[in-house]
Amino acid sequence: MIARLKGILDGSGDGQAVIDVNGVGYLIFCSGRTLSALGNVGEAVKVEVETHVREDHIHLYGFSSGSEKASFRMLQTVQGVGAKHALSILTVLSPDELFTAIAAQDRTLLTRADGVGPKLATRIVNELKDKTVNVALGIAADAPAAARNAAVKAAGGDTLNDAVSALVNLGYGRAEAYGAVQVAQAALGADAALDRLITGGLKELAG
């Protein structure tokens, strides 16, 4: 299996690129975000690769970062989400934005991707919330269980959700409101009062 390619960008466009590695041209399918990051034809490039082997084809999918590759894999664990959907989502959302949207249960952001309607977006946020909540909260995978449980509990607490709702009512997107309140809570403490979380969230959004 091919896990990484390093060579010269030979051409790109329409969701794909060709990378010349010692005279061999490898066709890779990419998100628009990765295509933009590759640079200009003739320049040296390096991409992380996911290899899909099927009975009738072998496809290579390229990513500008390991986190985008991991997000691509994660998205496809949801029923109805194939490689095309995953790349479309990663074109409009970075991995961090994707994690935040899922943790905040913000379906609207996902529907910005071509081919992702409200039903599929709902399925994605519902099925992936548990898988992304630790990442969105910034909890290390090897953190003590007590710390992980406390953080997850805080994320689902009424105070945090009320603060997010307040910012949404002020016109902010749910995902950006969630991220701002999350930062405020980390700075103020898990027991911070609602008004302090709202104020802290507003300061974060203003900054």
Q: What is the pLDDT of residues 148-177, one digit of tens each?
A: 445 445 444 578 888 888 888 888 888 888
**Residue 118 has what pLDDT?**
96
Lowest mean pLDDT among 118-122, 128-132, 159-163, 171-175: 128-132
Average pLDDT of the chain to the nearest whole number: 86
User: Which whole-number Å values give the CA distances from 108 to 37, 93, 96, 139, 189, in the listed order?
Assistant: 25, 12, 16, 25, 29
Indicate if the pLDDT at residue 139 is higher than 90.
no
Q: What does the pLDDT look like over 61-89, one tens digit per residue?
A: 999 998 899 889 989 999 999 999 999 99
Helices 95-103 and 118-136 pack at an angle, to 10 degrees, of 100
Structure tokens at 45: 């490039």
Stated pTM of the model = 0.73
CATH code: domain 4-64 is 2.40.50.140
Between CA 199 and CA 3 the distance in angstroms is: 46
User: In the CATH scheme, what architecture does the domain 77-136 have?
Assistant: Orthogonal Bundle (1.10)
Structural domain boundaries in the chain: 4-64, 77-136, 140-207
> Which position has the higher pLDDT, 57 or 129?
57
User: Which whole-number Å values give the CA distances from 204 to 14, 96, 177, in the listed order?
Assistant: 37, 17, 9
> Which position has the higher pLDDT, 44 or 193?
44
Coil, helix or strand at residue 204: helix
